[in-house]
Amino acid sequence: VQLLESGGGLVQTGGSLRLSCAASGFTFSSYIMSWVRQAPGKGLEWVSSIIASGGSPYYADSVKGRFTISRDNSKNTLYLQMNSLGAEDTAVYYCAKTSTFDMWGQGTMVTVSS
Amino acid sequence: DVVMTQSPLSLPVTLGQPASISCRSSQSLVYSDGNIYLNWFQQRPGLSPRRLIYKVSNRDSGVPDRFSGSGSGTDFTLKISRVEAEDVGVYYCMQGTHWPRTFGQGTKVEIK
């Protein structure tokens, strides 16, 4: 089982970024998938989850209306579209399998700076 | 939101000695299916988190049996029977019963 995130980087305040998570080693289309983030030196914060079929997304209040989770089961890939980014969104973003996070990727760093 | 409160936040331990971390939830974690979705994660320095325990007391594959989880209702405990050097890191509890998913603040385990 492997989860490989990409798409992180440096972005200006108010900007956008799209993260991707390529999954392998399991039947991606059968599982809820999630994003969890960790600000520098801080704890873990759940961001968003999406059910296997791609419907019924869940969002943390801190990102609702700004972030959009989606998935392409034909490509075994999970996405996180992040808009209106602020300094508080600076973090390592992890892709995780299921909504109880039984497997994690290596993370991708997002830095929001003015 | 369900608040998860861990204690202690820092835990210096002697190699070979036991360690215990407490986690308390602000409300019941019993799901409609009767299960309690309380999980424990380990994050070693510089690495991604790793799930150790799911549904209170079930060890994930490859997790040494010196790790055990217990609890019920709103009080849960992670125990390490004999701490080894590789156990250094931060441990988090997390509830998977309610949305939004919430984590405890983390407990930093270090060797004395």
For residue B46, the SS3 value is coil
Res. B102: pLDDT tops 90: yes
How many angstroms separate the CA atoms of B20 and B90, rounded?
A: 13
* Beta bridge pairs of residue B107: B91
For A14-49, write each residue's pLDDT tens digit: 999 999 999 999 999 999 999 999 999 999 999 999
Please measure the distance between the N-terminal and C-terminal CA atoms of chain A and give it in whole angstroms. 37
Q: DSSP class of residue B8? A: -
Looking at the complex, report in whole angstroms how far the Cα of residue B65 sits from the nearest Cα belonging to chain A. 18
Residue A84 identity: S
| Touching B: A residues 70-99, CB under 8 Å | 94, 99
B23-80: per-residue pLDDT in tens? 999 999 999 999 999 999 999 999 999 999 999 999 999 999 999 999 998 999 999 9
Using the predicted structure, report yes or no on whether residue A92 has a pLDDT greater than 90.
Answer: yes
Starting at the edge strand that comes first in sequence, how are the strands of the sheet with A17-24 ordered? A2-6, A17-24, A77-82, A67-72
H runs (alpha helix) in B14-90: none
Contact with chain B for residue A67, Cβ under 8 A: no
